[in-house]
Amino acid sequence: MIGAIIGDIVGSRFEFGPVPQKSFELFTPDCSYTDDTICTIAIADAVLNERDYKESLLDWCRRYPDPIGGYGRRFYQWFNADDPQPTDSCGNGSAMRVSPIGWLFDEWEEVIEEAEKSAIVTHNHPEGVKGAQCIAEAICWLRLMRFSKSDVERKVEKFFGYELPSMRDIKKIGSEGHFDGTCQETVPMALRCFIDANSFEETIRLAVLCDGDTDTKACIAGAVAEAYYQIPEWMIEKAISYLPDDMLIILGQFYERIQDSCGTKKE
């Protein structure tokens, strides 16, 4: 979960800002948490405190209605509606917020089911559901079954139908100014960044350098990378410094719940 939050914060200043350069500084005063972190916290809160996913998302998004970069137009309308209903969206928001489910459930069937439940309150398009299920399942594969990266790539293609693009193709798309707003675009891109990287930090850097939806690509890539790599302590401490107290409470609850797993990640 902190992997997702780090990716979000690092990528935040580039989403609608300058084109990232190769040796960019990870954390600056221009960075902040975005809707990606808010929604990730909401999903964790729902599971940890036995809240309905819809109720928790509405609570947290209404609590923080104006993060840096804002919310997607349809999602903003959703959480401000009197009676919010699913929007048939295949946007990448369902995948960027799902990482807590990959950690808090251990059975394959449960992970798939809960990822769908977390998605369909807003993103009930099949691609929106699939994107959330894929990321939650990849995290579960890595943390519990210790799959290799090549195993993850093969299984993502077999079970979810995603053929991961090359880094060259992803960077070309980004350089052309395309904003990858859907699950079917962002999820394969984020997974490729994780698979091609050699560390947690490199995963985040690759995702940001692909440009486009930098905070969400880095959020998803960071979420998966956390299940494989040890995150440098200084990066965790820096990310935490950006978060308000109520988010830190949920983050603390989350790591108390999974503390046994936290000590067994791959180096």
Which residues are known binding-site members for Mg(2+)?
34-36, 213, 215-216
* Rounded Cα gap, residues 182 and 202, in angstroms: 23
Half-sphere exposure of 72 (CA within 13 A, CB side): 21
* Rounded Cα gap, residues 139 and 226, in angstroms: 8
In total, the chain counts a number of residues equal to 267
CA 43 centroid distance within chain: 11
User: Do the beta carbons of residue 68 and residue 32 sit within 8 Å?
Assistant: yes
Give the residue from 12, 2, 1 showing the smallest Cα distance to 207: 12
Radius of gyration over every alpha carbon of the chain, rounded to an integer in angstroms: 16
Say which amino acid occupies 104: L
* Rounded Cα gap, residues 137 and 106, in angstroms: 10
Which residues define the annotated binding site? 34-36, 213, 215-216
Q: 101 is written with which tokens?
A: 């489910």
Say which DSSP state 182 is in.
B
User: Do the beta carbons of residue 116 and residue 138 sit within 8 Å?
Assistant: no
Q: 40 is written with which tokens?
A: 């990730």
